[in-house]
Chain A
Amino acid sequence: MKKIAIIDYKVGNIESLKNFFKDLGFQSYITDQKKKIEDSDIIILPGIGAFPSAIKIMKNKGLIDTIKKISKSGKPIIGICLGMQLLTTKSYEFKETMGLDLIPGEIHPIEDNQYQIGWNNLISKKIDISLWYSPQDNYYFNHSYYFKGSKNYIYATAFKNKELPAIIRNKNIYGIQFHPEKSQESGKNLMINLLKSFN
């Protein structure tokens, strides 16, 4: 069975994710230990929190180099919500802060102090067999910053005054702006298909 490491940077809803993967039939553990992260098959960067605060904790724990090193091995890395944003080059949340730079692009505030909070549908931008969803399905979003980058990395968007990237991908690196773990049946279906595609 694939081992999933949920990275603990003290600001994510990590217990929710652990319960989620257990419910989907996958073994996961919460860790900030380099060895345990390196030993896993799939890495999850969880959501909820502010970008600078999460990066600071990752830096202090020496996790940035570990994750960058693992990314080169082809091992899947999935960032959820804030976790997705951490995968990008840099963010302007509160101040300019460098990210992991695994998916080229920047994180900017949604214009006019807008938030995307609630349930929304996905608009497909690129076909990817590992990212299965229906346009009727709703997913739970909760963010006020969004990804600005090349359309080559944008696989799906969601409409809130304009199209905002919802799923981004660069090879083995996946970024999901919404919370699959809180999107009830739609989220479960999407994540189980993604995880199974790694076999």
Chain B
Amino acid sequence: MLKKRIIANISISDGIVVQSFGFKKKLPLGKAEAFVKNLDRWMVDEIIINDFSRSKKNQNPNFEMIKQIGSIKKNTPITYSGGITNADEAARIINYGFERIAIDSLYIKNPNEIKSIAEKIGSQAIIVSIPLKIYRGKLYHYNHVDKISEQLNFGKLDSYGNYFSELMLIDYLNEGNKNSFNYQIIEKFCKKNKRLKIIPFGGISENKQVYKIINSKQVTALCIGNFLNYIENSYQLYKEFLTNKKIKNIRPASYKKNFI
């Protein structure tokens, strides 16, 4: 049985790992390499490096950091997000040892390029991530670069839907804040689009939230960031909770035999 995943997010701003709060306020934590090594040792399902400062500042991916992370000995699937603008950059990131890439501002600026990226690295290796909020009962897509929100265009998602495999729905207003993910984002999205597989992210911290979200039909994975840093063994504690709730379509907690 294919398992639903809990993805560990590492937020990066200006080359260092940060605790991010709505992608605005941030507290420095340290070097990405140390976080990747720890998460790999904790046997998380997947890691995503989210260098959100690159897209915000219109910068291309930080290849020095990508190469450094790629060279770490690790056996956990890893995705890079941040400033990717073309197929050559995407292929270079994969070459450095990443399995997947996530597209953010490119989806707004030049979505046709996603097709070229898919032709080079395959659509299975592409995630599109979109920051969302609910406004007057409707989903709005926030553009970090131009700092504007527009109503989410479902037609556009459909037309590019064959060139990416999963869609990360980011509750950007609640990102980094405890127990605050807005479930309406999932509900409203899935009401309009029943095809795309989704990865909710932003403000997911509590076991009960993880349980509720992971049980949503179109959710193939969910993503947790800051809250993995607060409690020892936090990642495997989420897994343990789900295992105790008899959720079968996850990899069970494994830290008891493998941790440390």
Instruction: State A49–B220 Cα separation when bound (angstroms).
Output: 22
Give the contacting residue for B125; candidates A10, A48, A140; CB below 8 A: A48
* CB neighbours of B94 from chain A (8 A): 11-13, 48-49
Nearest B residue to A112, CB-CB: B195
Q: Does B258 make an interface contact (CB < 8 A)?
A: yes
Instruction: State A47–B125 Cα separation when bound (angstroms).
Output: 11
Contact bitstring A11-35, B, C-beta under 8 A = 1, else 0: 1111110011011000000000000
Q: Are B2 and A14 in contact (CB under 8 A)?
A: no
Give the contacting residue for B122; candidates A20, A49, A141, A160; CB below 8 A: A49
Q: Are A50 and B120 in contact (CB under 8 A)?
A: yes
* CB neighbours of A113 from chain B (8 A): 161-162, 195
A-B pairs under 8 A by CB, number: 122
Instruction: State A12–B99 Cα separation when bound (angstroms).
Output: 9
Q: Are B75 and A142 in contact (CB under 8 A)?
A: no
Q: Does B45 make an interface contact (CB < 8 A)?
A: yes
Nearest A residue to B195, CB-CB: A113
* CB neighbours of B1 from chain A (8 A): 120-121, 159
Q: Does A187 make an interface contact (CB < 8 A)?
A: yes
The smallest C-beta distance from A121 to any residue of chain B, in angstroms, reads 7
Instruction: State A156–B59 Cα separation when bound (angstroms).
Output: 44
Q: Does A144 make an interface contact (CB < 8 A)?
A: yes
* CB neighbours of B195 from chain A (8 A): 113
Interface size class of B (residues with CB under 8 A): 35 or more
Contact bitstring A137-162, B, C-beta under 8 A = 1, else 0: 01011111000000000000011100
Q: Are B119 and A182 in contact (CB under 8 A)?
A: no
Q: Does B111 make an interface contact (CB < 8 A)?
A: no
Q: Does A115 make an interface contact (CB < 8 A)?
A: yes
Instruction: State A32–B120 Cα separation when bound (angstroms).
Output: 18
Instruction: State A82–B124 Cα separation when bound (angstroms).
Output: 11
Q: Are B124 and A179 in contact (CB under 8 A)?
A: no
Q: Are B3 and A15 in contact (CB under 8 A)?
A: no
Q: Does A116 make an interface contact (CB < 8 A)?
A: yes
Q: Does B133 make an interface contact (CB < 8 A)?
A: no
Q: Does B169 make an interface contact (CB < 8 A)?
A: no
Q: Are A13 and B95 in contact (CB under 8 A)?
A: yes
Q: Are B75 and A181 in contact (CB under 8 A)?
A: yes
Q: Does A125 make an interface contact (CB < 8 A)?
A: no
The smallest C-beta distance from B69 to any residue of chain A, in angstroms, reads 10
Nearest B residue to A50, CB-CB: B122
Q: Are A16 and B97 in contact (CB under 8 A)?
A: yes
Residue ranges of B at the interface with A (Cβ–Cβ < 8 Å): 1-5, 43, 45-46, 70-77, 91, 94-100, 118-125, 161-162, 165-166, 195, 197, 220-221, 251, 258
Task: Across the A-B interface, give the 3 residue pairs with the lowest CB-CB distance, nearest first.
Answer: A15-B97, A16-B97, A119-B3
Residue ranges of A at the interface with B (Cβ–Cβ < 8 Å): 10-16, 19-20, 22-23, 48-50, 52-53, 82, 93-94, 113, 115-121, 138, 140-144, 158-160, 179, 181-185, 187-188
10 contacts between A and B (CB under 8 A): A19-B73, A48-B94, A113-B162, A118-B5, A119-B45, A120-B1, A120-B3, A141-B2, A144-B123, A158-B2
